């Protein structure tokens, strides 16, 4: 079986992780411009001031994408380039940059798939309470409208937010992302609510503009499985799915929050302050979502947490998402299992976990269209005789594409695959050490680009539409 002609083979990136030019052409400062410079926050103090200098080298990069045969490129817009203070004046130079990127993609027939928010928030808004302040939600809606009007004639695929659970969870529970707050459940749930509200409003405006493209949201997809069939561990897995998955998908696709979580938030005093108007906005727009984007890296294996501790009392091990930690509320813990395979950063490799998870989503949400908006292997790539021989990445993507093919056969509505990442880029917390790209960037030699083995492999997959998989 070949992948259908309208299935998009792509790859992805995000503004802060590639662009650099952090203070050029009128761009405003962002939360990450500041946070990454606080000592101890990132691996070896790396930051996105220069990143891989895509801002100045986008033509070269998009040319390489075209050479790879990429059908679609997912990238994000830096809000602070467009509206430097978040909700003030529009910066024409910012519009100009993304117009050039979009036009360059179209020149090669590459479909631009645009994310509006991939974590870099204008500093003015962060300093005013960030996502815990409704001002940020209103500002986002304004920013989204500016982008739809400026680029919507050529961009027909929009993602509002990337991985709400990550920027809110790491921002307000773990303190590992800006604003660096720990253990504030009240703020965490409030922030997620304003994100969902901002999403719904942006979707509504997009539909009113009648640009005839599609719009959705991207979540990290972390399906939870019990480590065994003990009743208490099965309940732990349910709890994890309610909080990590249903809390994020229900308000988007059903227009209301999952009652299991809502009830517990009430008991704990964590219910966000939400108005009828906000809840109605969610409800009214549930039908307006065209798709859901899934960033899938790994499932989580969980068991009932027997210790009376919550997440911050355990330090993270090798990486933010590596197993071995209790959940924020101490209800369950994630477990590293002896019969599973893990990456160097401790993330489980499980294509089967994805397939099972897709069926779980279908059961709950029906036939919603889905794109895999990220999937890939973070590794330290071996270089042999000057060649980047990233065989483990090829294997990883190959195995995931195989289950995607199977999922489609089994009736899952999947319309595209975006590998993370198109090119080696800045990992938020792991610097340049953790590589994901098809294209290597030489940090010892003027950020020169070089094709990896996976570049040629992916090109072949696209050319043959995955027939050999
Ligand atoms: C996703 C993000 O969560 O994971 C990306 O959307 C990120 O921006 C990717 O780079 C990989 O994360 P990490 O921590 O391995 O760099």
Q: Which of 29, 71, 303, 374 is catalytic?
A: 374
Identify the DSSP state of 454.
H
Residue that is written with structure tokens 């529970």 in the block = 173
Is 244 part of a structural domain of the chain? yes
Give the pLDDT score at 319. Answer: 62
What 3-state DSSP class applies to 165? helix
Range of the domain at 125: 8-297+352-463
CA angle, corner 53, sides to 48 and 55, nearest 5?
A: 105
CB 172 within 8 A of CB 165: no
115 in any annotated domain: yes
Give the H or E element holding residue 194. helix 185-209
Instruction: Estimate the crossing angle of helix 185-209 against helix 276-285, to 10 degrees.
Output: 50
Domain annotation covers residue 24: yes
The answer to whether 347 is annotated as binding is: no
Instruction: Pick from 32, 374, 380, 429 the residue to mutate for probing ligand 1's pocket: most ligand atoms within 8 Å of its CB.
Output: 374
Cα–Cα distance, 185 to 298 (Å, whole number):
25
> From the CA of 48, how far away is ligand 1's center (Å)?
14
> Using a CB cutoff of 8 Å and minimum separation of 24, what contacts does 83-86 make?
83/28, 83/122, 83/139, 83/142, 83/143, 83/146, 84/26, 84/27, 84/28, 84/122, 85/28, 85/122, 85/124, 86/28, 86/121, 86/122, 86/124, 86/125, 86/136, 86/139, 86/143
Taking a C-beta distance cutoff of 8 angstroms, is the pair 406, 395 a contact? Answer: no
- Number of independent structural domains in the chain: 1
Q: Where are the beta strands (DSSP E) in 204-348?
A: 214-220, 224-226, 291-295, 300-304, 332-334
Which of 104, 126, 163, 278 is flagged as catalytic?
Answer: 163
For the packed helices 92-107 and 134-151, what is the interaxial angle rounded to 10 degrees?
A: 50
Q: Is the peptide bond before 421 cis (omega within 30 degrees of 0)?
A: yes
Nearest atom (ligand 1) to Cα of 321: 14
In a domain, 302, yes or no: no
**Is 371 annotated in some ligand binding site?**
no
Beta bridge partners of 220: 295
Task: Give the three-class secondary structure for 420.
Answer: strand
- Closest CA to ligand 1's atom 10: 427
Residue 327 lies in a domain: no
Q: Note the pLDDT of residue 440.
A: 98
Q: Report the first-to-last Cα separation within the chain, whole angstroms.
A: 8
Domain assignment present for 323? no
Ligand 1 pocket: which of 378, 422, 423 to mutate (most atoms <8 Å of CB)? 378
**31 is annotated as contributing to ligand binding:** no
3-state helix, strand, coil in the chain (%, to 5): 45, 20, 40
What sign does the dihedral 460-464-468-469 (CA atoms) show?
Answer: positive
CATH number, residue 70: 3.20.20.80
92 included as an active-site residue? no
Please state, in angstroms and rounded to a whole number, the distance separating the CA atoms of residues 347 and 377: 9
Residue 108 belongs to some domain of the structure: yes
Please give the C-alpha separations between residue 416 and each of 6, 23, 53, 158, 375, in angstroms, as whole numbers.
8, 34, 28, 14, 12
Give pLDDT, residue 323: 84
How far away, in angstroms, is 54 Cα from ligand 1 center? 18
Residue 229 CA to ligand 1 centre (angstroms): 31
pLDDT (tens place) for every residue of the chain, 469 residues total: 999 999 999 999 999 999 999 999 999 999 999 999 999 999 999 999 999 999 999 999 999 999 999 999 999 999 999 999 999 999 999 999 999 999 999 999 999 999 999 999 999 999 999 999 999 999 999 999 999 999 999 999 999 999 999 999 999 999 999 999 999 999 999 999 999 999 999 999 999 999 999 999 999 999 999 999 999 999 999 999 999 999 999 999 999 999 999 999 999 999 999 999 999 999 999 999 999 999 999 999 999 998 765 555 444 444 677 788 899 999 999 999 999 999 999 999 999 999 999 999 999 999 999 999 999 999 999 999 999 999 999 999 999 999 999 999 999 999 999 999 999 999 999 999 999 999 999 999 999 999 999 999 999 999 999 999 9
Q: Which residues line ligand 1 (CB under 6 A)?
A: 14, 17, 162-163, 166, 220, 295, 374, 378, 420, 427-430, 434
Q: Would you state the pLDDT for residue 106?
A: 98
d(CA 450, CA 193): 42
* pLDDT computed for residue 309 by the predictor: 56
Q: How far is the CA of 206 from the centre of ligand 1 (A)?
A: 27
For residue 321, the model assigns a pLDDT of 75
256 catalytically annotated: no
């Amino acid at each position: 079986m070949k992948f259908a002609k309208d299935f998009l083979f792509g790859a992805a990136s995000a503004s802060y992780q590639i662009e650099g030019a952090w203070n050029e052409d009128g761009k405003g400062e962002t939360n990450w411009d500041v946070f990454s410079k606080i000592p101890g926050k990132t691996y070896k103090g790396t930051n996105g001031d220069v990143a891989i200098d895509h801002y100045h080298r986008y033509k070269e990069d998009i040319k390489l994408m075209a050479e790879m045969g990429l059908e679609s490129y997912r990238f994000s817009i830096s809000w602070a380039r467009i509206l430097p203070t978040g909700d003030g004046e529009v910066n024409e130079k910012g519009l100009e940059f993304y117009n050039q990127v979009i036009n360059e993609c179209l020149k090669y027939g590459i479909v631009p798939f645009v994310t509006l928010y991939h974590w870099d928030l204008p500093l003015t808004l962060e300093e005013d309470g960030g996502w815990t302040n409704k001002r940020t939600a209103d500002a986002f809606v304004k920013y989204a409208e500016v982008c739809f009007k400026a680029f919507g004639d050529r961009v027909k695929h929009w993602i509002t937010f990337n991985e709400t659970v990550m920027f809110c969870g790491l921002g307000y529970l773990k303190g590992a992302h800006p604003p660096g707050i720990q253990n504030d459940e009240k703020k965490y749930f409030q922030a997620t609510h304003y994100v969902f509200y901002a999403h719904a409003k942006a979707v509504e405006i997009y539909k009113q503009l009648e640009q005839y493209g599609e719009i959705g949201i991207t979540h990290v997809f972390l399906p939870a499985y019990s480590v065994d069939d003990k009743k208490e561990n099965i309940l732990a897995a349910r709890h994890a799915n309610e909080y990590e998955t249903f809390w994020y998908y229900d308000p988007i696709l059903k227009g209301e929050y999952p009652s299991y979580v809502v009830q517990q938030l009430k008991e704990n005093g964590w219910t966000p302050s939400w108005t009828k108007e906000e809840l109605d906005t969610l409800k009214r727009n549930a039908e307006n979502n065209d798709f859901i984007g899934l960033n899938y890296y790994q499932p989580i294996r969980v068991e009932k947490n027997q210790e009376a501790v919550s997440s911050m009392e355990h330090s993270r091990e090798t990486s933010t998402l590596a197993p071995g930690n209790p959940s924020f509320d101490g209800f369950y813990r994630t477990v590293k299992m002896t019969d599973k395979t893990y990456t160097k950063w401790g993330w489980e490799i499980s294509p089967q976990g994805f397939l099972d998870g897709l069926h779980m989503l279908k059961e709950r949400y029906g036939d919603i269209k889905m794109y895999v908006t990220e999937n890939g292997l973070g590794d330290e790539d071996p270089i042999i005789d000057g060649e980047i021989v990233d065989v483990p990445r090829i294997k990883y993507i190959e195995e995931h594409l195989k289950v995607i093919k199977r999922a489609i056969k089994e009736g899952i509505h999947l319309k595209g695959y975006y590998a993370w990442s198109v090119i080696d880029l800045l990992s938020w917390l792991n610097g340049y050490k953790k590589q994901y790209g098809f294209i290597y960037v030489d940090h010892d030699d003027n950020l020169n680009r070089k094709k990896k083995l996976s570049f040629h492999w992916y090109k072949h997959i696209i050319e043959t539409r995955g027939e050999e998989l």
